[in-house]
Amino acid sequence: MGTFIQQLINGLTVGGIFALIALGYTMVYGVMRLINFAHGDLCILGAFIGLTTLTSAAGGGHPGAGLLLLAFVVSVIVIAVAGVALERIAYRPLRKADRLAAVVSALGASMMIENGIMLVWGPQVHVFPSNLLPATTWHLAGATISFVQVMIILASLVLMIALYLFVNHTRFGTAIRAAAIDQDAARLMGINVNRVIASVFIIGPALGAIGGLFIGIYYREAYFTMGWTYGLYAFIAAILGGIGNIPGAMLGGVLLGLFNAFAAGYVSSSWQDAITFGLLIVILLVRPTGLLGERVAEKV
Amino acid sequence: MKKHQECSKIVLAVCATLGMALAPSAYAASGPIKIGVQAPITGTYADEGQGIERAVKLLAAMQNAKGGLLGRKIEIKVCDDQGQAAQAAICARQLVNDHVVAVIGSYTSGAALAAEPIYARANVIQTSDGTSNELLKRGYKTWFGNAAPNSAEAKFTAHYLVDVRHFKKIAVLTDHSSFATGLAGAVVRDIKADHGNVVDKSFINAGSQNFSPVLTKLKSMHPDVLYFSGYYSDGGLIRAQMVQLGMKAAFVGGDANQNVAFAKIAGSAAAGSIIVNVPAPADLPYPVAKQFVATYKAKYGALPPSVFTLTNADGMRAVMQAIAATKSVKPAKLEAYLHSMKSFQGLTGTFAWSAKGERTGSPFVAFAVQKDGSYKIRYPAPKND
């Protein structure tokens, strides 16, 4: 029982992170029908920016919890700006072009950010300062849960609920949904589609930066190739939940984290990815648009 | 006329060289005792090759300052094999023609292998850090490998886990790289050979960071130690997540875990982790080694480039000891002496040679990671002789 609960906690923690990153994929896809392959790298760039803020603000001393908040703020702002810049430079000129051109541009941007991180910060593993957060752990039914895990699970949940309310219960959220259904019709209705697109390139990367910083704080290390790994997992989470669907990305992320934990824990860690992605194939065979996906007719 | 004179001069010179070459000056009772160094003085491994040359020359100079061996000076002949097989064969012939008693080198297995049959036929002792199994296949009695064979790390690790620490339930974790799976497989085999109990062998995906699921599974098996054969960036994280999950098991890591980043990543969980590796020259615990490394540094202004400088120096020291003990430079006597040594106190630990010329006695040690991230040797216990 203790082992089961422990795996549940393990799965929920990484699942929350996957979900935060998956939201960026799904929102951009929803509005632009584009897979932003540079998203994972933006998230990890967020982790690096956060780390640099922490260490430079601490000025050689030991960074405390107040600085951690500052790191989150700086990282979110920088990555949101980077997200908008990415859209302006790499995607807007190609909006009328063949869809493949934008995908290639996205892959190029991904490599550029990844190698940019390497050139600025170097190829070695960067380590986050220890004791940023209380080392408190709680024990329940033979399982342990740490302060960081509670924080990640709760913060992911709060952010996801906030995003859901924003998209479904505000005027701007309605504009986003309208642009996602039909950009031309939305424009005719007086919606500034460019602003909508810019907004998803702010919200997605901002959530991703928080996810990236969570990775850094949870595992206490960051290196430049991490963006690809996490980007791939989050992309799959978005597909699993139904790409373009916001609650779908949340569900997909959490499920992927849980699949991963239970496959490693109860079957074999060497088969972990094979089982996870095998399940993904089965789900997509049964529901080709993902668990909460839109109906295909609407997409075309 | 002039031309003719020149020709005869050349003939004379050739005759003189041949005559000298034919005379068995190496075994003669007078003149210096010649010892060869075959090493990559230039090329990719120049750093290592020059380290070997410097160490051997330093040992010879130290011995000569004490009056040499058997009342004769030691003379070092160096040949640069550039780490390449073709050049190694040329070097071997040249050193044989120079009538060396023994050759230290080469650094690469490939260069040592190309030279090996030439030394064997000429009955010249060869001691090298080469560890390729090919070097042992032909059973040359002139071959003395001075570095531990590839299987030594696994043997040492199994011995440490089972016989030294008496762990009863050993869990083994590895990534999918050929290096780490090979090491983990050998460790499991050697633990079983030592009658140890391996409760589980699991894999991680290197770089995936999320090791809690597999560690949670291992925790439910209640191992008293977790051995990890992969790299430091994963090892540090595994150690941190073990502690976070409340695992009581000790952590023992393979040589790829030795990196300053290990302790940083593991954070407060790092202290007490054990890492198995050959110590770097500056960390060797043996007094002879400390003294030699200090002398080397004083003379050349730098530390030896790697531990292989010192294993080759051990080859040189063993040859010198053999000459002094047998009061002879006859190859058969020296070979018999080297093969019969029970334990030789080397700079890189105590060792001996098997009948095949393979080094027995491991240079590996178990380090404990300290709170400040430095290392302290836990086993074998540092001796004060």
Per residue, the 3-state secondary structure of chain B, as one string, reads CHHHHHHHHHHHHHHHHHHHHHCCHHHCCCCCEEEEEEECCCCCCHHHHHHHHHHHHHHHHHHHHCCCECCECEEEEEEECCCCHHHHHHHHHHHHHCCCCEEECCCCHHHHHHHHHHHHHHCCEEEECCCCCHHHHCCCCCEEECCCCCCHHHHHHHHHHHHHCCCCCEEEEECCCHHHHHHHHHHHHHHHHCCCCEEEEEECCCCCCCCHHHHHHHHCCCCCEEEECCCHHHHHHHHHHHHHCCCCCEEEECHHHCCHHHHHHHHHHCCCCEEEECCCHHHCCCHHHHHHHHHHHHHHCCCCCCHHHHHHHHHHHHHHHHHHHHCCCCHHHHHHHHHHCCCEEECCEEEEECCCCCEECCCCEEEEECCCCCEEEEECCCCCC
B219 touches chain A (CB under 8 A): yes
Residue B384: predicted pLDDT: 45
> Based on the domain organization, do B87 and B123 belong to the same domain?
yes
Q: Is residue B16 part of a domain?
A: no
Residue B29: its pLDDT value, please?
62
Q: What is the pLDDT of residue A249?
A: 93
Q: Are residues B301 and B269 in the same domain?
A: no
Q: Does B268 touch chain A (CB under 8 A)?
A: yes
Question: What's the confidence (pLDDT) of residue B299?
Answer: 94
Domain count, chain A: 1
Please report whether residue B10 resides in a domain.
no
Residue B25's pLDDT is what? 47
Q: How far apart (Å, rounded) are the C-alpha atoms in residues A251 and A164?
A: 13
In the predicted structure, residue B290 carries a pLDDT above the cut 50? yes
Whether B6 is covered by a domain: the verdict is no
Is residue B14 assigned to a domain? no
pLDDT grade for B23, boundaries at 50, 70 and 90: very low
Q: Establish if B347 belongs to a structural domain.
A: yes
Show residues of chain B in contact with A266, CB under 8 Å: 217
B258 and B302 together in one domain: no
Residue A254, domain member (yes or no): no
- Would residue B94 count as lying in a domain? yes
Are residue B186 and residue B212 in the same domain, yes or no?
yes
pLDDT classification of B165: cutoffs 50, 70, 90: very high
C-alpha to C-alpha distance for B38 and B129, rounded to whole angstroms: 12
Tell me: do B124 and B162 sit in the same domain: no
Most confident of A12-16, A294-298, B45-49, B262-266: A12-16
Judgement on whether residues B155 and B273 belong to the same structural domain of the protein? yes
One domain for residues B67 and B215: no
For A162, counting Cβ atoms within 10 Å of its Cβ (0-12 exposed, 13-18 middle, 19+ buried), the class is exposed
- Interstrand relation of B74-80 and B33-39 (parallel, antiparallel or unpaired): parallel
User: What does pLDDT average to in each consecutive run of 10 residues of chain A (300 residues)?
Assistant: 90 95 93 92 96 84 80 96 95 90 94 94 87 84 90 95 94 93 91 94 96 93 90 92 91 93 87 84 88 57
| Closest B-chain CA to A220 | B265
Is residue A4 in some structural domain?
A: no
Residue B201 and residue B184 in contact, taking contact as beta carbons nearer than 8 Å = yes
Q: What is the ipTM of this complex?
A: 0.85
Say if A277 falls within a structural domain: no
State the smallest CA–CA distance between residue B215 and chain A in angstroms.
Answer: 8
Beta bridge partners of B200: B171
| pLDDT at residue B382 in the model | 61
Mutation target for A interface from B208, B220, B257, B260: give the one with most A CBs within 10 A.
B208
Give the pLDDT score at B385.
Answer: 40
Quote the percentage of chain B above a pLDDT of 70.
91
- CB contact B237 to A (< 8 Å): yes
Q: Is residue A57 part of a domain?
A: yes
CA atoms within 13 A on the CB side of A285: 6
Structural domain boundaries enclosing B34: 26-148+283-353
Distance of alpha carbon B212 from the chain centroid: 37
pLDDT over 90, % of chain B: 66
* Cα torsion A119, A122, A124, A125: sign: negative
Instruction: Return d(Cα A40, Cα A21) in angstroms, integer.
Output: 7
Residue B97 belongs to some domain of the structure: yes
Q: For residue A273, is it within any domain? A: no
Q: Is residue B358 part of a domain?
A: no
Q: Is B371 on the interface with A (CB under 8 A)?
A: no
Q: Do B50 and B120 fall into the same domain?
A: yes
Same domain, B215 and B343: no
Angle among Cα B226, B131, B89 to the nearest 5 degrees reads: 160
pLDDT at B19: 46
Residue B374 and residue B246 in one domain = yes
Q: What is the CATH classification number for the domain harbouring B185?
A: 3.40.50.2300
Residue B374: pLDDT over 70: yes
pLDDT tens per residue across span A132-160: 888 888 988 888 999 999 999 999 999 99
Same domain? B31 vs B180: no
Say what the pLDDT of residue A115 is: 93
Q: Which residues of A touch B245 (CB under 8 A)?
A: 6, 144
Q: pTM to 2 decimals?
A: 0.79
pLDDT above 60 (res B1): no
Q: What confidence score (pLDDT) does residue B289 get?
A: 93
CA–CA distance, A204 with A34 (Å, rounded to integer): 13
Region B275-294: mean pLDDT is: 91
Residue A296 lies in a domain: no
On the question of pLDDT at B300 being above 80, the answer is yes
Interface of A with B in 256-285 (CB under 8 A): 260-266, 268-270, 272-273
Q: Residue A229: its chain B contacts at CB < 8 A? A: 207-208
Separation in Å, CA A298 to CA A181, A189, A260, B197: 8, 19, 32, 60
**Per-residue pLDDT at B361 exceeds 60:** yes
Closest chain B residue to A148, measured at CA:
B244
Q: What would the mean pLDDT of B111-125 be, rounded to a whole number?
A: 95
Whole domain around residue A67: which residue ranges?
19-134+142-229
The C-alpha of A258 sits at a distance from chain B's nearest C-alpha, in angstroms, of 10
Q: Answer left, alpha or beta for residue B286, where phi above 0 means left and psi between -120 and 50 means alpha.
A: beta
A13–chain B nearest CA distance, Å:
10
Q: Nearest CA to CA, how far is B174 from chain A (Å)? A: 10
Average pLDDT over residues B11-27: 49
pLDDT recorded at residue B22:
47
Among candidates A7, A127, A137 on the partner chain, residue whose Cβ is nearest the Cβ of B213? A7
Give me the residue from B213, B237, B245 closest to A144, CB to CB. Answer: B245
Q: Is the pLDDT of residue B105 over 50?
A: yes
Domain count of chain B?
2
Residue A293 lies in a domain: no
Co-location of B117 and B169 in the same domain? no
Question: Interior CA angle at A58 toward A54 and A62, to 5°?
Answer: 100
